[in-house]
Structure 1
Amino acid sequence: MKKVLFLILISCNISFSQIIEVSVNKNPILVGESFAISFSFDKKANNIDFNLSNNEYVKFLSGPNKSSSSSITIVNGKRESILNTTFTYYFKAIKKGEFIIPSASITYKKDIIKSNEIRVQILNASNKQANNSISNNLFVKAEISKRNVFVGEQLLVTYKLFNRYDLANTEMTKLPNLDSFWKKDLETSSRFKREVVNGVAYNVATIKKMVLTPQKDGTLLIDPIEIKCSIRTNNRNNDPFTSFFNSYSVQEEFISSKPIKIKVKSLPRPIPNNFIGFVGSLKVESSVDKSTVKANDAINYKISFIGTGNLELLGEQKIDFPTDFEVYDAKIDDRIFQGGLKRSVKTYEYLLIPRYEGKYEIPKSIFSYFDSKSGKFKEISSKAFKINSEKSEKFLQSSQTNSISKQLVSNNKKDIRHIKYDFNQNKKISNKSFNVIIFILVMILMLSKYYFKYIKNIYQKNTKSDKLSKIRIKKAEKYLKKNDLTKFYEEIEKSMLLFFSEKLNIEIGDFSKEKLEDLMKKKKYNTEIQNQILKIFKDIEIARYSPMSDYKKSNELLNECVLIIKNIESNRK
C-alpha cells in the first residue's frame, strides 16, 4: 500500500512540474512599440497551440520562433539535467486599451498542458515615455534629394538605419512598392559610422540607396521600408553558472520609415516631334573611322550621348543613312555611373557598307531633350559626314551585271519601247502583259524579302536574349563560387529582367511586377509557373539587401532561375 501511494505522489509531482510559463517582455506597452510573448515549457516540445490574431489592439508580426536550452544542476552530489523549450511570438501595439493574451496549450505524452491568461495594458506614449522608447534609439530614415521634379527627372532616395543598441542582426521584411517609378539600385556599404544628431550619438548605416525616375505626373507616394532588428540584451541573473551559458537574450523589433510624397510635374506643351525622352543635361558626339572607302568595304559610325539624367532609359535613335548603305544592328556600349546621376555615356556603333561607288552624305541628326534646370526643351545635333565610295577591284568581274541591275531599278527616265518574246514561233505575249507579270513578280519578291527579314529579326531577337540571359547566369554562377553574393544577385536580376522583357515584349524601363503578372496571364502561362516567376523576382529583390543571404539559399535561387528558363524554352519549342 505504501509503494502504491509513493508512486501516486511521484506521478502527481511530475504532472504538476510540467507547466507552461507565459511572459511578455514589457507591460505596459506604448502604442507603436513591438513586444514579445514567450511560452516556456520545462520539457521537450515540438509545437504549441496558440491563437492570437490581429485585432484592434495588436498586429501580428512573426512567430512562433522556437528555441531550446538545457542546464545542469548539482544538489547534494546529485546531477540533474533540465531541458526547456520556448516559443516566442512578436506583435505590435496599435491602439490604446487593455486586452487579454489567451492561454496556449502543449500536448505532452497525451496530456494537454495549458498556460495562464495574461492581461496587458497599452498606453499612449507621453513625451517623457517617448524619450525612453525604442523608437528614439532605433529607427530608419528615408532621405530624398528632391521632392518636386518633372516626369523623367531623376531623384536619389537613401535609407539610413540609426541605432544605439547592440544589434545581433537586421533583415529587410518589406520593400516599397514603386509602380509609378523606374528604379535603379545602387551599391551600398552596410558598415556603421558614428553620427551625432541633435547632440545624440548614433551608429548609422546606409542600408539601401536607389535612383528613381517618375513615369507619370501627379502626387506620387514612396512607401515605407520595413526592417526586422534583433537586439542583443544582457541577462540579469544572480546564478553565475546559468549566466555563463546564457549571458544574453535577443529581442526582435520591427521598424519602418515614413512614407514620402513626391510632386511630379508634366513636361511643358507642346512637346517637340524630335524629343528623345531624355530629361537632364545632354550633349551628343559623332564620328566615322574613314571618309573614303571601296564599295562593299565597311565603315564604323559612332554616335555618343553624354550627360546626367535618365540616360539608361534612352533608346536607339533613328539616323537617316543613305539608302545604298547596308546598315547592321548597332552595338551598344553604356557606362552609367550612379544610375545616371553622375556624368555617363551611352554609345551606339553602326557597321555601314556602301554597296555601290559614288559620293554619299550621312546627314546630321537633330534631337530634342528636356533640360530640367532651365525647365525648357533644348536641341542638340550630330555632325554630317561626306563619304566617297570608290569602285572595288574585288568585284570587277560582276561590275557589269551590277551596273545593269542598278540601272533597271533606278533609271526611270528611259521607257522600254518594245519587248517581244516568241516561244515556238506560235505564242506571243504582249508588251502590256509582260509588264504586268514583271510587276507581280517584283512585288512578290519584295514582300517575301520583308517577311523573311521580319521572321529573322524575331528569331534573332529571341535567340540573342536567350544567349545574353544564359551568359548572365553563368557570370552569376562564377560570382557565387567566389561567394561574392552582391554581384551574384545583380547578375541574376539582370539575366531574369533581360529574359522576360524580351519574352513578354516589355521595355526594361517599364518592367514591373504588375505588368509581368498581367502579360503572363495574357500569354496563358501555367499558374504554377506564374507563381514561381513572381516568387523568384521577390526573392531576388529581398535577398539583394538582406544580410541573412547565404550560399545555400543563393544556390537554390540560381537553380530555380535556370529551371524556369528551361521550362519556358521547352514550352516555346
Structure 2
Amino acid sequence: MPRFYISTMIKYIFCQILVILIGILPVKAIDATVRRVSFSVKASVSDSVVCVGQKIHLRFEVQTKDKVSFDFEDGDVQNMKIVSGPMHSSQSSISVQGGKRVEKYSQIYTYILEASQKGSTTIPAIVFKTDSTMSFSHPIAILINPAPKQEKQKEAEKSTVSDDEVFVDVQYNSHKIAAGDSMIINYRIYSTYDLQEILDVQEPTFKGYKGLKQPVNRLTRRQGWDIVNGRKYTTLNWYQYLIKAPNKQGEITIPQIKLKVMVRVVESQTVDPFDPFGFFSQPKYRIEEKIITSPAKKIKVVAPGSIKQQPQQAEKPQPKQREPEIDRSMLREL
C-alpha cells in the first residue's frame, strides 16, 4: 500500500478520535458538576421591609443530615449588622407519597440581623458545603425605611411572650440573716419555652453589704424544672452569689438583674385533613426576644444568735434539707 494512503488513513482515524473526545468530555464535566449539588437550601426572613433599628430573623434551612460549613459574617450584608447567631436546630418529618414512606431531615441556622442604615440591601447567596457536595441559597432583597417615632418603635418590638411565661427570680433559704453572717442567693430563670440564648446581662450591684460571685460550673448553672402555681417551668440557675450581711441590724435589698433572652415559640398551625393527629407533620418555630428583670427582694438583718430553728418532733421526723455549701475560703474576700 502506498505511503500516501497510510498517512491519510492515520490522519482520518486521529480526527475521528478527536471528534469523539470533544463530544464526550463536556458532557462528563457538566454531569460531574450537577452531581455535586445533591441537597437544597432555603433562605427566608421574618420581614423584607424594616425600619432602622428593627431586628429581623434570617433563617437557612439545609435539607441534609451531613455536616455543612458556610461563611456568613458581619459585614456581608450592607446596612445591616449581625446581632446574634447562628442558632442551630434540626427537624425531621415523615410522610407517605405514592404509597412510599418519605423521610425528610433539615438543619436550621438562624441569625438575628438589625437594620443600621436606611436604603435597600440584599442578603447574598451563601455557599453551603459538605465533604462531597455543595449548594447555594438564593439572594433576598431587603428594604430599610427611616426609623419611626420612639413610641411606635417600642410597640413594634414588644414581645408576645408574657411575663408569667418567662421570668427571673431570686432564690435563698431564709428571709432573715444574722448580722455578719453569710448566705447563698441564686438568680434563676423560669421559662415555659425552649431557652435559646442569653443575649444581654446586667449584673447586680450590692449596696450596703458585699456580694461575691460564685464560679459557674455544673452545680451552680444547672438546668432542671419546677412547678409554680400549678404550671411546669424549665429552670436555669444563671447567677449564684455569696453575700455577707452588714454588722448592724436592719434590712438589706437583693439587687435586681436584667437579662435579654431568646426563646423558641411554636407558631400556630393549620390542621392537615390527611393527618389530623399530627403524626407526620412538624411544628414551625420562631425566635422571640424577651427582656426580663428580677424582683428586688428584702432580707431582714437580725442580731447574732436570735435565729433559732424549731426542734423537730420525735414522732414525725422531717427529712433534713441540704443547705447550699459555702466555700469558706471566699469569706476572706468578703
TM-score, normalised to structure 2, is: 0.51
* 2:56 is equivalent to residue 226 of structure 1: no
Which AA in structure 2 matches 1:37?
L
| C-alpha distance after superposition, 1:30-82 (max 9, x if no partner) | 5665543222233322123131327863343232403141433322x4x2534
- C-alpha separation in 2, matches of 1:499 and 1:209: 19
Structure with the larger strand share: 2
1:230 CA drift (Å): 2.0
Aligned pairs for 1:79-118 (under 5 A) are 79=100, 81-93=102-114, 95-97=116-118, 98-108=120-130, 110-118=132-140
1:92 CA drift (Å): 4.5
Aligned pairs for 1:318-467 (under 5 A) are 340-341=299-300, 344-347=302-305
- C-alpha separation in 1, matches of 2:148 and 2:188: 24
CA contact (8 A) 1:138 1:161 kept: no
Q: Which runs of 5+ in 1 are unaligned?
A: 1-5, 144-158, 195-204, 216-220, 260-337, 350-481, 508-573
1:19 CA drift (Å): 2.6
| SS of residue paired to 1:499 | helix
1:232 CA drift (Å): 1.5
* 2:226 is equivalent to residue 169 of structure 1: no
Which residue in 1 is equivalent to 2:43?
22
Q: Which structure has the larger Rg over C-alpha atoms?
A: 1
| TM-aligned CA distance change 1:101 to 1:223, over 3 Å | farther
Which residue in 2 is equivalent to 1:405?
none
Which residue in 2 is equivalent to 1:506?
333
| SS of residue paired to 2:66 | coil
* 2:228 is equivalent to residue 191 of structure 1: yes
* 2:94 is equivalent to residue 71 of structure 1: yes
| SS of residue paired to 1:60 | strand
* 2:204 is equivalent to residue 178 of structure 1: yes
Which residue in 2 is equivalent to 1:495?
326
Identity %: 10
Alignment root-mean-square deviation, CA: 5.4
Which residue in 2 is equivalent to 1:44?
65
| SS of residue paired to 1:138 | coil
CA contact (8 A) 1:68 1:86 kept: yes
- C-alpha separation in 1, matches of 2:112 and 2:65: 25
CA contact (8 A) 2:83 2:114 kept: no
Pick from 233, 248, 252 the counterpart of residue 283 of structure 2: 248
CA contact (8 A) 2:91 2:282 kept: no
- C-alpha separation in 2, matches of 1:40 and 1:99: 21
| TM-aligned CA distance change 1:70 to 1:15, over 3 Å | farther
1:99 CA drift (Å): 3.6
Which residue in 2 is equivalent to 1:137?
160
1:239 CA drift (Å): 7.3
Which residue in 2 is equivalent to 1:300?
none
| C-alpha distance after superposition, 1:200-238 (max 9, x if no partner) | xxxxx9x999999999xxxxx976322222212123476
Q: Which runs of 5+ in 2 are unaligned?
A: 1-26, 170-186, 214-225, 247-254, 308-318
CA contact (8 A) 1:32 1:92 kept: no
| TM-aligned CA distance change 1:28 to 1:162, over 3 Å | farther
Which AA in structure 1 matches 2:58?
I
Which AA in structure 2 matches 1:66?
S
Which AA in structure 2 matches 1:120?
I
- C-alpha separation in 1, matches of 2:160 and 2:112: 19
- C-alpha separation in 1, matches of 2:47 and 2:230: 30
| SS of residue paired to 2:304 | strand
| C-alpha distance after superposition, 1:417-474 (max 9, x if no partner) | xxxxxxxxxxxxxxxxxxxxxxxxxxxxxxxxxxxxxxxxxxxxxxxxxxxxxxxxxx
| C-alpha distance after superposition, 1:452-505 (max 9, x if no partner) | xxxxxxxxxxxxxxxxxxxxxxxxxxxxxx9xxxx87x71xx423x2333xxx3
- C-alpha separation in 2, matches of 1:230 and 1:58: 22
Which residue in 2 is equivalent to 1:569?
none
1:136 CA drift (Å): 5.0
- C-alpha separation in 2, matches of 1:61 and 1:95: 15
1:162 CA drift (Å): 12
- C-alpha separation in 1, matches of 2:230 and 2:238: 15
| TM-aligned CA distance change 1:42 to 1:135, over 3 Å | same
| SS of residue paired to 2:71 | coil
TM-score, normalised to structure 1, is: 0.33
CA contact (8 A) 2:93 2:281 kept: no
1:347 CA drift (Å): 1.9
1:7 CA drift (Å): 10
- C-alpha separation in 1, matches of 2:44 and 2:256: 38
Number of residue pairs aligned between Structure 1 and Structure 2: 244
- C-alpha separation in 2, matches of 1:208 and 1:111: 41
Which AA in structure 1 matches 2:329?
F
Which AA in structure 2 matches 1:26?
D
- C-alpha separation in 1, matches of 2:134 and 2:291: 39
| C-alpha distance after superposition, 1:306-350 (max 9, x if no partner) | xxxxxxxxxxxxxxxxxxxxxxxxxxxxxxxx7524x7442289x
- C-alpha separation in 2, matches of 1:190 and 1:122: 44
- C-alpha separation in 2, matches of 1:94 and 1:239: 40
| TM-aligned CA distance change 1:85 to 1:506, over 3 Å | same
